[in-house]
Structure 1
Amino acid sequence: MNFIVEPSVFQTLKGVCFAVVKASGIDNTQKIPEIDMLLQKSIDSCEVCFENKSVKQSEEIACYRDAFRAMNINPNKYMCSIEALLTRISKKKGLPSINPIVDLGNAISLKYKVPIGAHDLNSSEEDFYVRNTQTGDFFIPFGQTESESLEIGEIVYATGHSVRTRRWIWRQSEQGKIIDSTNSVLFPIDGFEYFNKKHLLSAQEELATLLRQYFNCNVQVGWVNSENNTFTIHS
């Protein structure tokens, strides 16, 4: 299996890059108090950081809002995942605990203020793509059972015709969501070479380290950009 970013994506999103973490052999059924503490620490830190600062006007979010405009998407209507998380936290609404894998991803995402996705690799045997939507693609919104229509040309995460994240890093699908029985996960961390590459690499390193520490699982890391658009996922 491969994680592939199509060339057209790099033409639209100048300098976009992806730090990728793959973990397998996970037991996601056990409560891990250390992850709970990490998540709360990240939440508390972000509450302080944005106490007197607007999330949407912050330096950390600017590159993603600019990218949404480059895709002809209104970033005020469709906030990228990390902006949505930070906006919720800035309003002192906290963040619910979902399960250890999701909570760990959120903790690292908040710490480095970068979007981190999480996809169940057992939900598909086909390659994972970041690409423009095609005829036949479908998306099932989180928590729903019926698919919604898609316009051709939208940048998405997809495997086969199943769109796993709409509007690049806006919202993930019901298909491939992380549940208690999930044991193999792909974590893409999205950013830009010219802006937050160091944060992406730091987030990747810490996520990989903590996955090994808390789950005693197999971890593989990779880097995808315009010069190397494919990451081979080992079984």
Structure 2
Amino acid sequence: MPEALSAAEFLARSRVDADVFALRPDYRALLLVAEGLDPATADPAQRARVDGLVAAAEEHARTVLEATPVDQVPHIASWRDAYRAFGSKPQRTRNSVEALTRRAPGGLPRVNTLTDAYNAISVLHQIPLGGEDMTRYDGPARLARATGEEDFDTAADGAPVIEHPEPGEVIWRDDRGVTCRRWNWRQCRRTALTDQTHTALFILDALAPLTDADVLAAGDALASALSGLGPDVQITRRLLAG
């Protein structure tokens, strides 16, 4: 049985490996844990607030893309360079903020309250942002270069399947396997958020030109969006930097 970690213990033991910082010295990760969530029973006003965030994100993406081709948006271009640095082709496996920004003008995907909220914040702040059920982690979070032997729990043609990352690929992982491939491209099934998630981990990935102040502002916006999704939501966070 996985060791149960408090939010503070989980964050204190989470880390980014040195070879990831060697790849991108400008990288930072803001890890945010939200406890006391009860998204299934969120009141209509809070659900309407999340709907408003989604609508604002869709309009923001339209404005961004009317002014600049998507691959030239500064934050997206930076992630494209990072993907090339570990051998991934960004036009085939798009970083999460590019994928969402491209999709947003025609409507962001609606998944569940937690996912809809963090997708909206991701587009509004132009930062890759992932959310997972922390209680399904086995040990703390770690950003590393893959050996290629790690298990990745995903689906293909609607059926569960175990895949493996490419050697050298940047992955988020725990003690059991990969939780997110290619830095922020695709998350595993095991730790997926649901309306039954009560403790969630959110990871905000940042590269220049995003500043620390920008990253923290995105974290504040996410914390605000989550604050009404439970009677007593508690937020704990940690910024990891080289």
> Is the alpha carbon distance of 1:20 and 1:149 closer, same or farther for their aligned partners in structure 2, counting shifts above 3 Å?
closer
Q: Provide the C-alpha distance between the structure 2 equivalents of 1:52 and 1:30, rounded to a whole number of angstroms.
A: 40
Task: Check the 8 A contact 1:211/1:219 in 2, yes or no.
Answer: no
- The aligned residue for residue 224 of structure 1 is 240
Q: Which runs of 4+ in 1 moved over 4 A?
A: none
**Partner SS state of residue 156, structure 1:** strand
Task: Check the 8 A contact 2:39/2:113 in 1, yes or no.
Answer: yes
Task: Check the 8 A contact 2:57/2:120 in 1, yes or no.
Answer: yes
- The aligned residue for residue 96 of structure 1 is 109
Q: Provide the C-alpha distance between the structure 2 equivalents of 1:125 and 1:148, rounded to a whole number of angstroms.
A: 18
Is it true that 1:195 corresponds to 2:209 in the alignment? yes
* Higher percent of residues as helix: 2
Q: Offset of 1:200 from its aligned partner? A: 1.2
Q: Provide the C-alpha distance between the structure 2 equivalents of 1:50 and 1:136, rounded to a whole number of angstroms.
A: 39
Is it true that 1:69 corresponds to 2:84 in the alignment? yes
TM-score (ref. length: structure 1): 0.88
Of residues 30, 40, 49 in structure 2, which corresponds to 1:19? 30
Task: Check the 8 A contact 1:17/1:223 in 2, yes or no.
Answer: yes
Q: Offset of 1:122 from its aligned partner? A: 0.9
TM-score (ref. length: structure 2): 0.86
Q: Offset of 1:93 from its aligned partner? A: 2.5
Of residues 48, 66, 71 in structure 2, which corresponds to 1:33? 48
Q: Which runs of 5+ in 2 are unaligned?
A: 1-9
- Once the two structures are overlaid, the 10-residue window that deviates more, 54-63 or 128-137, is 128-137
Q: Provide the C-alpha distance between the structure 2 equivalents of 1:3 and 1:144, rounded to a whole number of angstroms.
A: 31
Q: Offset of 1:14 from its aligned partner? A: 2.1
For 1:74-106, what per-residue CA distance to the aligned partner results, in whole angstroms no more than 9, with x for missing partners?
Answer: 1111110000011112xx421122111111101
Quote the sequence identity (%): 26
How many pairs align?
223
- Once the two structures are overlaid, the 10-residue window that deviates more, 197-206 or 99-108, is 197-206
- The aligned residue for residue 190 of structure 2 is 175
For 1:81-140, what per-residue CA distance to the aligned partner results, in whole angstroms no more than 9, with x for missing partners?
Answer: 000011112xx4211221111111011111111110101101123111111223641112
- The aligned residue for residue 7 of structure 2 is none
Q: CA RMSD in A?
A: 1.7
Is it true that 1:161 corresponds to 2:176 in the alignment? yes
- The aligned residue for residue 233 of structure 1 is none
Question: Which amino acid in 2 is paired with 1:204?
Answer: G
Task: Check the 8 A contact 1:114/1:199 in 2, yes or no.
Answer: no
**Partner SS state of residue 147, structure 1:** strand
- The aligned residue for residue 54 of structure 1 is 69
- The aligned residue for residue 131 of structure 2 is 118
Task: Check the 8 A contact 1:144/1:174 in 2, yes or no.
Answer: no
Q: Provide the C-alpha distance between the structure 1 equivalents of 2:52 and 2:78, rounded to a whole number of angstroms.
A: 29
Please show how residues 203-222 of structure 1 align to structure 2 within 5 Å: 203-215=218-230, 216-222=232-238
Question: Which amino acid in 1 is paired with 2:233?
Answer: C
Question: Which amino acid in 1 is paired with 2:239?
Answer: W
Question: Which amino acid in 1 is paired with 2:238?
Answer: G
